[in-house]
Amino acid sequence: MNRKLQNDELNRLSEEEFKISDKVKLILILDNIRSLNNVGSIFRTADAFLIEAIFLCGLTGKPPHRDIQKTALGATETVHWEYFEHTQQALEACRLKNYGCYAVEQTTNSIALDQFPATKNSGIALVFGSEVGGVDQNIIELCDGSIEIPQRGFKHSLNVAVSAGIVCWAISQKMPE
């Protein structure tokens, strides 16, 4: 029989264990994300994959906020986050850590996600853009490249929180903690 696991069977880390555990060397940069529900969902994804940090930039909402908490379900208490007024400042902070910086965007020279060469020892920062316009061109130009999620449908567009989930899962498989 196949049964759903109970919460006490999930081997969850405590909040303290989570905070001191080794993280995947991945920083998510949220550039002007308007939906607080999307921000909360991305926090929850970052918690699930032991992501190092989230950098909130520009118009992106910051915790504590009721609408972020609704989807984050407490992940704002475990995932390290910082706020930057300008996305360029977040990119500079990542470069000081020798992290490669990549926009998650469809561009003329984007790398398909499944072809992206992530490794355990390389730190990576990923920029996710606004729900309507994506990553701004001036930010794309400051990045080392772009990563694209291959799509087959008509829209060729995914919700930013869904995109973050797909990309975090794929890259964390290549960069175990």
pLDDT score of 122: 85
The string of pLDDT tens digits covering residues 122-170 is 899 999 999 999 999 999 999 999 999 999 988 888 999 999 999 999 9
Contact 32, 129 (CB under 8 A): yes
- Count up the domains in the chain and report the number: 1
Q: What are phi and psi of 116, to 5 degrees?
A: -70, 125
pLDDT score of 120: 73
Residue 84 belongs to some domain of the structure: yes
Residue 160 belongs to some domain of the structure: yes
Tokens of 153: 């449908």
Residue 26 belongs to some domain of the structure: yes
Residue 62 belongs to some domain of the structure: yes
Query: Domain range for residue 81?
Result: 21-174
The full DSSP string for 16-77 is: HHHHHS--EEEEEEEES---HHHHHHHHHHHHHTTEEEEEEETT---SS-HHHHHHHTTGGG
Residue 91, H or E segment: helix 87-96
pLDDT score of 176: 63
Residue ranges in the chain modelled with pLDDT below 50: none
Residue 28 belongs to some domain of the structure: yes
Give first-to-last CA distance, the chain, whole Å. 32
Q: Which of 81, 77, 80, 68 is nearest to 41 (CA)?
A: 68
Q: What is the pTM of this model?
A: 0.94
Residue 151 belongs to some domain of the structure: yes
pLDDT score of 97: 96
Residue 11 belongs to some domain of the structure: no
Rounded Cα distance between 140 and 84, Å, is 17
pLDDT score of 8: 85
pLDDT score of 177: 57
CATH label of the domain that carries residue 141: 3.40.1280.10
pLDDT score of 52: 96
Residue 114 belongs to some domain of the structure: yes
